[in-house]
Each structure stands twice: as C-alpha cells, then as structure tokens.
Structure 1
Amino acid sequence: MPLPYRARRIRRYGRAASAIACLSLAACATDRLALAPATPDRPWEIPPSFDNLPEPGTHTAARTPSEGGTAPAVAAPASTAERRVPRGNSVQIDPTRRYDLAGLIDLAQRNNPETQGAWEQARQAALAVGLTETSYVPQISAEIVGGYQHTPLPIPTTLVRKGYFTSDTRELLPTLTAKWLLFDFGRREGSVDAAKANAFVANVAFTGAHEKLIYAVSRTYFAIGAARGRLRVAEQALKSAGIVQDAVESKRAHELATVVELAQARRQTAQARYNLERARGGQNSAYSSLVASVGIAPDVPVQIADSSEMSLPPAPSGDVEQMVRDALANRPDIIAGLGKVRAAEATLSSAESAFYPTVGLEAQAYQNIGGLSTEGSRYYSVNEPGANILLKLSLPLFDGGARDAQISIAHSEVAAARHSLDQAQDAAVQQVTDAYDALKTGYAEYEAALALTKAAEIAYDAALDAYRHGVGNYTDLANAQTALSQAQSEREDAHSNVFTAAAALAFSTGTILSHS
C-alpha cells in the first residue's frame, strides 16, 4: 500500500538529515585524540621539529638509557601479575623478584599520579584541536516550533466597520538549519594553529613528567645504595671495635693494658653500635623515599637490587658547551617553551583577523503545518514545505574596544612566552654546568676515596698488629679504626654520588630518555 503524501515527504526530509549528519560525523572532534599519547605509562617521543609532528595513530614509546650509562633503561612491560590493582594508588609487587632500577621505573611509570594527570591533560589538548576544527564544517541543527497566536490586525473601516479584525493561528514548524562559515580571513586558522601548538606542548609536558619521574626514582635508588653501603661499613666497624676490645681485654688480663684503655675500647664499641643503629635508620629512610617516588604503599615489602657494587658509568663524552647545546635542543621544558611561543603567536593572528569581515552561508528547510482562522471562521489548513538559503556578510563596526583589548592581550602573551623561554634556556645552561661539574667532581672524589680507603686499611692493620705485640699504643689503634670506618663510608657515598650526578646530567641535558 503506497504511503500517504505527508509520510513520503517526511521520509525524504529524514533521509536528507541522515546524509548531512553522516558528513558531519566524518569530521568528528574526538578523532583528534590520536594526537595525544596512546598510554599514560610510556613517554611520548618528541619529534625532531615542531613542524614534523607524527601522524595520528603513530605513537612511539620512548625508552630510557641502560643502567650502565648515565641513566637507566626501562624494562619491557611487566607481567600481568605486576599490573596495577584497583586499590588506591598502588601496584602489585612480585615478592620473588629483586627490582633493579629498570624494574622500579617501570612500576613508577604505570602508577605515578603526576604522569597520569599529564596524560589526561594531553588528551584534553588533543580534543581541543578537534573542537576548533569543527568551525570548518557546517553546523546543522534541527528544531520544532509550535504554538498558538491570537492577533488583532488593523483594516480600513470601509472593509470592516470596527477598523480591525482578529486572526487565530496555530502552527507546527519542524526545521532543519545549516550554518557554514565560508571565509574569515584566517580567524579559524589561527585558533586551530594555537590549539595544535597547545596539544604539542601538552604532549611534551607529558614526556617531561616521565623524565622527572625517572630522575626522581634514579636519585632515590642510588641513595638507598649508598645507605646500604654505609650500613655495611657500620657493621664492619662494630666487628672491628669488638676485635680491638678483645685485644685490650686480653692485654688487661695480663696487666699489659690500663683501665683507661679498656674503658676507651668499650666506649668505641658502644659508639660503633650506635653508628650501626643510625645507619639502619638511614637505610629505612632511604627505602621510604624510594617506594614513595615509585608510588608503592609503604607497608608493601619490595626487594631492591643493590647498586653499590655496580661499575661506574662511563665519563661523559664531549665538553660542557656541547652538552649545553644538547640541552637547548632536547629538554622538554625548552621545547614546550617554543610551542608556547607558537601558540601565543597563533592566538595573536586570530585576534588580528577579528577586524576583517566574515562570509557565511545559512540555509533552512522546514515544513509549515498549521491553520488560520479569521473572525472566528473555520480553520484553513496548510501542510507544505518551505526553504531558504542566505549569504551572510558580517563586519563588526563598533565593540567598545574589545578587539583592541584582545590584540593587546595577545601581544602580551607572546612577549611573556618568549621571556619564559629565555628563562628556561638560562636555567638549562646553569643546571647543565652544575651537573657536569658535579659529575667530574664525583669521579675525582671516588678515586680519592679508593686511595684513602686502601691507605686506612693498611694503617689499621698495622696499628692492630703493633698493639697486639706491645709496640703500639691504644690511641693510635683507635684513631686508625675511626679513620678506616670514615674512609669506607666516604667511598660508599662517592660511589653513589657519581651515579646520581650522571643521572642529573642526563636529566639536565634532556637525554635521560633514549630514542634508540
């Protein structure tokens, strides 16, 4: 059975609306999520230049340098058992695994709230790009207006004696409206460019958050290595104090040592025991700092691989000037500063375009379903389609100085972005220089600590042997024992300081992530 005329017409309007809706969906704003990093647990790989951005969907997770270099390598994704559990901000720890630096960084990257937040901000910035790009496509809306109107209208008294007549109207107007901005002298282009620059900045900031996280975990990891080394030194010092006390007590039993020497030996043992407890407290504090930087709950035990026996990283290649150049080219804060300058310049361009006219197209298609009654007569009905298409030229003439103010603000934002970039570059130069000097000093201190420890060991052995054979005094023995413990502790600190300085140099130059 053929459809009634009205139904066929409504079906045609429905098909037209569906076709236009499909065209609009082809440019969906949420498609731009592909510009954001794919996952929150791996850093975004910064492209070699701002203009060489990766195509949507081609994310590459950067890796960190190996442990043997200036910064650690990120291990491959851990097993499902180590994935984050849905409980607060913690991860599930494998109790049988001794986590090295790479494993700890992997845990931190999957659990750190700062990187998670930076990832969400990058996604928001990517969506903002799609939002600004929607201004290039037609804006389509559907609405239905219906109602009743009673209207008195004037009319010559020659036609109607009382000089007016009344009209009663009832109408239902389903309408499909399309508005399309065709030309605006670059106003939309500036907004899109600014949004893209902001998305780039957000992605770089996300990578910067990962770099800060890796540096924080590295610093606390090497700190616990130094604390463990000091604990071993304290344990050995207590053993040495016991040996010395035994020697003094043996000599005192044969009346070859004084009561004062015996009291001093016992005091030395008590001091060593106190130092041991303090070293244990330092190790516990270093452990707490490490698990906090990783994001592990403090009551969750985790086995940490010892870093105190690791070979020193290689000395930096190149001079400090080359490292400064690397920092200015690779540091996320400087790259983000360049992106902010681009965003501010694009915003300025968009603001300046507001002084030019805009050209747009507006169209409507509707169905007039209604009736009209005059002076209480019966209603005369209509059910017919209507349409219009209009070309609109708009030029704002006066706005109280709003556009001038927007341009002044945009100029100020450009200047502020450039000053921030200069400040970031100056800070980078100082940080690289300080880290480079600290690393050079760390190597020298470690070599000196090795020589000092060797000399202290020889002196202690000689003093202990001399005292046992009655040709040495207790004061020399006690001094040698104290000097040995101090030298060994300084050696452990120097070893850790080299690794920490190497990580600081890699962080300050922006090379703590490997792009291999």
Structure 2
Amino acid sequence: MRRLLHGLLACLLWCSLPAEAYEPGILGTTKGVRHQAVHDDVRANMSCQFGQLPKQLPLAEVIERILCQDPQTRLSWAHAKIQAAQVGLSQSAYLPRLDGRLSSGQTDRFGGAHRRYDTASLELSWVLFDFGRRSAAMRNAHQLLLAANANQDATLQNAFAQAAQIYYDAQAAERRLTASVQIANLATQNLDAADARYKAGTTAISERLQAQTALSQAHLREVRDRGALHNAIGTIALRMGLSPNVPLQLAVDPTPLPDTHFVKAIDKLLSQAHQEHPALLAARAQLQAANAAVEEVRATGLPSVAFTADLSQGRNMTNGDTGEQSHGIGLQLTIPLFDGFGRTYQIRNAKARVEAEQANLANAEQQVALDLWTHYQTLSTETQSLQRTSELVDQSRQALEVIQGRYHSGVGSMVEVLNALTAYADAEEQHTQTLNHWQTSRLKLIASLGQLGFWAL
C-alpha cells in the first residue's frame, strides 16, 4: 500500500510540474515553426546580435536590425508557436490518458461510531477508434500551422518592404539635400555676378534683388531638406531600437542599380504569384482547416471505442488496518444519442466557415493579382521615367551652365539665369523622386510575387 501511495504521489508531482520544465518538444511540434521566409536563405537564422554600427550603414543591415526589433514580426512568430502547440495537442489525443487519485477521510455512523479510510487508484483510458475524429482534428491543426507560417512569411515581407522604404526615403532626402546645397552655391554665384554688374553700372538694382531672393529661397529649401534628412535618419534609428540622436551615415547609392531579371511576362508572374504568395498559401491552408473541422464535428456524433484499466487499493483504519485491492481491464463503447441538436448547429457553423474561407481565398487571389498588375505597370513606367529624368538633369545642367556663362560675360538677363536655375532644380527633384519610386516599386513587385527577401538587395 505504501509503495503504491508513494509511487502515485511521485507521478502526480512530476506530471504537475510547470510545462517549461519538460516542454522542449516531446512531440517535436516546434520544428514546424519557421524562423524566416522559406524563399530567403541568404541570411539564414538571423541571430539578432549586432556589434558596433559601421561607419556606412548598408541597407541589408538596416533591414535586419529593424526585423529583429519589429513587434509585428515577433507577434506573428508567437502566433505560429501557439498553433504549433495546438498541433501537439491534437497529437496527444492518440496517446493514453492516465489519472491518479488519492483520498483520505472518515464516515460517521449512528451511535458515534466512525470509519476511517485511505484509498489510492490509477485509471487508464486509451481511445482506440473514433471514426476519424482525431485525424480530422490533427489535419485541422496542421493546416492552421501552415497558415500561421504563411502569415509569418507575409508579415516578414511587409516589415522588410517598410524597412527598405524608410531607407530609400532617407537616401532620397540625402540626394535632395545635396542638390539643395549645390543650388544654393549656384545662387550665390549668380548673386556675386549680379552684384558685380550692378557695381559696374551695367545692370539695374532689380537684377541684384532677384538674385538675392533666389538665394534666400535656395537657403530655405536647404533648411527644409536638412530637417527632412534628420527626420528620416531618426526614424531609421528608432525602428532599429536606437536613440534618434545616434549619428547614422547611410551607404552610398548602388551603382549600377539592382537588376530586374525576375521581371517576366505578366501571365508568368501571375502564375508564379498564384503558387507562391504567402497570402494565398495561408488562405488555402485555412480553407483546408475549415474542411477538416467539418469532418471533426461530424465524427463527434459517431461511436468511439476505448481501452480502460484501473487499479485501486484502500485501507480501513477502523478494523486493524485491513486493506482491500481491486483491478480491472475492459473496452468501453461510447455512443452519442442526443445532445439537444447542438451537433447539428455545430456542423452548420463549420460549413458556414468553409464558405467564408472560400470567399476569403477568392478575395486574396483577386487582391494579389491586382497588386501585382499595379506594381508591374508602376515599375515599367518608373524605369522609362528614370532614363528620361536622367537626360533632363543633364540637359538642364548644360543649359544652366551656358546661360550663366553668358550672364557672367555681360550678356543676357537675370530672369534667364533664374529660369534656368529653377529648371535645373526641378529636374534634380524629379530625378530623385523617380529613383525613389523605382527602388520601392521594384521591391513591391517582388513582394507581390511573394518572394521578397535579402536576395533582392
């Protein structure tokens, strides 16, 4: 009796330990959780351990630091681990269930007599057959894990695109500031030339005032562009988990630009996205999970067969510590007969969820196709615009140099110089904006294919 009590007590204490004490994957469900995008093996298993900031911060390191700090990526990973635990829960239904009980007490009788007793028992129950209920539940959990992994992939790609966007915005702010400083220097040269001509008596005071106004406008633009750059750099620092006052210097723009070898005919891109986009993979997995849930609910209304065994031992303290022991094994057949029509409405609920997931899949397919078409056309337009704006910058710079040279030689007017300077400034702004749009459109197109990752850099 004592051996049974001690053994049962030890079993109960071990089984009641916190889950963290023995969780590391008895059923191996944690292996089903992905740590990164399936298509991106360039930086496998990011450690999220970084040293000192480099003098020139490259785009890849900025993105990696932001991904490690982004709360949405951690949230999606946690959801995937939650669903992995659900897979383990569905697998555990195939294992036997062992329960132990300890009890001690007394019963009072008429006349003041009482009876003290101690009992210990073990009960084993093992479901052998249930018409596919457990297998349907496991398929449901497994499909939901696939959906969670796909959603994690989509979240990573979204955070990746946002990180690249703020980096490209910061680079655009640097280019704008560089152009503003250059324009301010040109405006200073124009003012010096106008002042020299005014002092020589070859021009009116109005031209000098026009040059002075243009210089003030150039300084104002420089101040605003410098503030925009500080804002963009501070945003990057905050997203990386650093203080916004940390001095950061971005790497120089890549030369030549990243390639676009992945761009194919639109029909091929649509087919590729239909097969690989994480939003579609998640929607398909959720639909399969909903179908499995219907089968699971239906199976709850069917019989089940379980193997049962029990062992108990008691001790009567009243009659000289007499003990009694019992044990038994058998098969238990459970037949659900009536549950108040609850199962009928559970099946209706499950079927309605299937319809909802079918509509969700159709909506996801349409949205992926629309996004892909939009970004495909945008990249095509920006690619052509980038070449034209580059030509426009060269042409406007040459025109400005010619007109400035004529003005410094005493020919022409300040109006011509200022018009040429304005045209050059506009051309630089258009080129900077177009380059920024091209860079982001390229990454958005890759994201529309469901393949955005470090390889794209």
Fold match by TM threshold 0.5: yes
Aligned to 1:325: 271
Aligned to 1:472: 412
Where do 1:258-269 residues align within 5 Å?
A: 258-269=204-215
Go from structure 1 to structure 2 and tell me whether the alpha carbon gap of 1:206 and 1:108 turns closer, same or farther (over 3 Å shift). Answer: same
Where do 1:141-156 residues align within 5 Å?
A: 141-150=99-108
Go from structure 1 to structure 2 and tell me whether the alpha carbon gap of 1:129 and 1:111 turns closer, same or farther (over 3 Å shift). Answer: same
Go from structure 1 to structure 2 and tell me whether the alpha carbon gap of 1:12 and 1:222 turns closer, same or farther (over 3 Å shift). Answer: closer
Aligned to 1:45: 38
CA contact (8 A) 1:226 1:308 kept: no
Specify which of 90, 96, 103 is matched with residue 61 of structure 2: 103
Q: TM-score, normalised by structure 2?
A: 0.90
**Cα shift at 1:417:** 1.0
CA contact (8 A) 1:217 1:294 kept: no
Counterpart check, 1:492 vs 2:432: yes
**Cα shift at 1:168:** 4.7
| AA aligned opposite 2:296 | S
Counterpart check, 1:506 vs 2:446: yes
CA contact (8 A) 2:234 2:245 kept: no
Q: Return structure 1 stretches of 4+ with deviation > 4 angstroms.
A: 11-18, 25-30, 74-81, 165-168
**Cα shift at 1:44:** 4.2
Specify which of 7, 28, 33 is matched with residue 36 of structure 1: 33
| AA aligned opposite 1:253 | K
**Cα shift at 1:290:** 2.9
Aligned to 1:178: 124
Counterpart check, 1:438 vs 2:378: yes
Counterparts of 2:376 and 2:449, CA distance in 1: 10
Counterpart check, 1:126 vs 2:84: yes
Counterparts of 1:399 and 1:15, CA distance in 2: 37
Counterpart check, 1:394 vs 2:334: yes
Aligned to 2:343: 403
Matched residues, number: 449
Counterparts of 1:12 and 1:396, CA distance in 2: 38
Where do 1:95-494 residues align within 5 Å?
A: 95-150=53-108, 168-307=114-253, 311-314=257-260, 316-370=262-316, 379=319, 381-494=321-434
Counterparts of 1:418 and 1:295, CA distance in 2: 40
1:482-516: CA deviation from partner (whole Å, max 9, x where unpaired): 10111122112222221111011011111213789
**Cα shift at 1:315:** 5.7
Counterparts of 1:464 and 1:317, CA distance in 2: 44
Counterparts of 1:309 and 1:29, CA distance in 2: 51
Go from structure 1 to structure 2 and tell me whether the alpha carbon gap of 1:266 and 1:26 turns closer, same or farther (over 3 Å shift). Answer: closer
Where do 1:79-94 residues align within 5 Å?
A: 81-82=50-51, 94=52
Deviates more, 1:397-406 or 1:9-18: 9-18
Counterparts of 1:95 and 1:122, CA distance in 2: 32
Task: Say which SS state the counterpart of residue 60 (structure 2) adopts.
Answer: helix
Go from structure 1 to structure 2 and tell me whether the alpha carbon gap of 1:337 and 1:79 turns closer, same or farther (over 3 Å shift). Answer: closer
**Cα shift at 1:369:** 1.0
Go from structure 1 to structure 2 and tell me whether the alpha carbon gap of 1:308 and 1:248 turns closer, same or farther (over 3 Å shift). Answer: farther
**Cα shift at 1:309:** 5.3
Go from structure 1 to structure 2 and tell me whether the alpha carbon gap of 1:26 and 1:231 turns closer, same or farther (over 3 Å shift). Answer: closer
CA contact (8 A) 1:237 1:272 kept: yes
Counterparts of 1:295 and 1:310, CA distance in 2: 31
Counterparts of 1:144 and 1:11, CA distance in 2: 8
**Cα shift at 1:125:** 1.0
Deviates more, 1:464-473 or 1:231-240: 464-473
CA contact (8 A) 2:305 2:334 kept: yes
Task: Say which SS state the counterpart of residue 303 (structure 1) adopts.
Answer: coil
Task: Say which SS state the counterpart of residue 98 (structure 1) adopts.
Answer: coil
Task: Say which SS state the counterpart of residue 309 (structure 2) adopts.
Answer: strand
Go from structure 1 to structure 2 and tell me whether the alpha carbon gap of 1:218 and 1:368 turns closer, same or farther (over 3 Å shift). Answer: same
**Cα shift at 1:359:** 1.1
CA contact (8 A) 1:29 1:131 kept: no
Relative to its length, the structure with more helix (as a share) is 2
**Cα shift at 1:218:** 1.0
Go from structure 1 to structure 2 and tell me whether the alpha carbon gap of 1:367 and 1:124 turns closer, same or farther (over 3 Å shift). Answer: same
Task: Say which SS state the counterpart of residue 383 (structure 2) adopts.
Answer: helix
Counterparts of 2:48 and 2:309, CA distance in 1: 58
1:49-105: CA deviation from partner (whole Å, max 9, x where unpaired): xxxxxxxxxxxxx335xxxxxxxxx599679553xxxxxxxxxxx244321111112
Q: Which has the larger radius of gyration?
A: 1
Counterparts of 1:464 and 1:13, CA distance in 2: 99
Task: Say which SS state the counterpart of residue 99 (structure 1) adopts.
Answer: coil
Counterparts of 1:510 and 1:365, CA distance in 2: 57
Task: Say which SS state the counterpart of residue 355 (structure 1) adopts.
Answer: coil
Counterparts of 2:28 and 2:44, CA distance in 1: 31
Unmatched runs of 5 consecutive residues or more in structure 1: 1-5, 47-61, 65-73, 83-93, 153-164, 373-378
CA contact (8 A) 1:175 1:367 kept: yes
CA contact (8 A) 1:141 1:178 kept: yes
**Cα shift at 1:354:** 1.5
Counterparts of 1:125 and 1:341, CA distance in 2: 16
Task: Say which SS state the counterpart of residue 472 (structure 1) adopts.
Answer: coil
1:399-444: CA deviation from partner (whole Å, max 9, x where unpaired): 1111011111110111111111111111101101111111111111
Go from structure 1 to structure 2 and tell me whether the alpha carbon gap of 1:33 and 1:76 turns closer, same or farther (over 3 Å shift). Answer: closer
Counterparts of 1:12 and 1:172, CA distance in 2: 13
**Cα shift at 1:445:** 0.9
